[in-house]
Amino acid sequence: MASTDVAAEVKAQTTQVEEPAKVTRHQEVGHKSLLQSDALYQYILETSVYPREPEPLKELREVTAKHPWNLMTTSADEGQFLGLLLKLINAKNTMEIGVYTGYSLLSTALALPDDGKILAMDINRENYDLGLPMIEKAGVAHKIDFREGPALPLLDEMVKNEEMQGSFDFVFVDADKDNYLNYHRRLIDLVKVGGVIAYDNTLWNGSVVAPPDAPLRKYVRYYRDFVMELNKALAADPRIEISQIPVGDGVTLCRRNY
């Protein structure tokens, strides 16, 4: 390519990048990812995620897809991200708040060593039972201690127990968004220094930037203020370092500093 052609190419590319986003793109609140197109997201899934997804996890994803509340499940790319993260930090003792059918639970259970543990909480055992056969098939059921019931009273009990303070390497929070800040107040004592708390859905279907008159679903509108309040509080909390990762519906990683 002649140098003038190169210059023209560079100019064309730059011009393209500087163009304002097309109005037709990403107008829809609730887009599954923050990527330029659905095709790009599909490319990630098909190239890097699905070929590496263990069979029982795939089965669990397919069973969940038929469930009426399937909107709640963790996406496969986020599951892969969480599994890798746990391996990177050598997590052994973890917690999950909000299990549903268990996609994130199984993704993380597979990433833990054989003697690793997950304390998993959900008010609904029925949905967990739906995924349990796949968890058993994956050979990781022994790592999971499932507790049926609201998470907050259980966290209150744990905070009182000195042995449990600073004992978790990782916590995944994916339940009632209006309680995230209440969870944070307790989890900061339960996660060890250097450990990680991951808050899921911190972009809340993109609604954190929706104009006040946007036609949001009732539950999206209701939880939006809580998510926005959490995001502000996490950003202002000196006890943690944070990064808001644009995977799934946004997951904010918080490393306990002290």
Q: Which residues bind ligand SAM (CB under 6 A)?
A: 72-74, 97-101, 103-104, 121-124, 127, 150-151, 174-176
In whole angstroms, give the CA distance from residue 59 to residue 53. 10
Binding status of residue 174 toward Ca ion by CB under 5 A: yes
Q: Rule CB under 5 A: is residue 201 a binding residue for Ca ion?
A: yes
Q: How many of the chain's residues bind Ca ion (CB under 5 A)?
A: 3
Cα torsion 235, 240, 241, 245: sign: negative
140 binds, among ligand SAM, Ca ion, none (CB under 5 to 8 A by kind): none
Separation between Cα atoms, residue 172 and residue 1, nearest integer Å: 51
Q: Which one, of 199, 209, 177, lies nearest residue 26 by Cα?
A: 209
63 or 89: CB nearest ligand SAM: 63
CB 112 within 8 A of CB 91: yes
Burial class of residue 62 in the structure, from the number of CB atoms within 10 Å of its CB (0-12 exposed, 13-18 middle, 19+ buried): exposed
Q: Which is nearer to Ca ion, 159 or 181 (CB)?
A: 181
Pick between residue 156 and residue 241 the one whose CB is nearest to ligand SAM.
Answer: 156
Q: Compose the 92-111 pattern: x for residues touching Ca ion by CB under 5 A, - for all others.
A: --------------------
Q: Give the footprint of Ca ion on this chain (CB under 5 A).
A: 174, 200-201
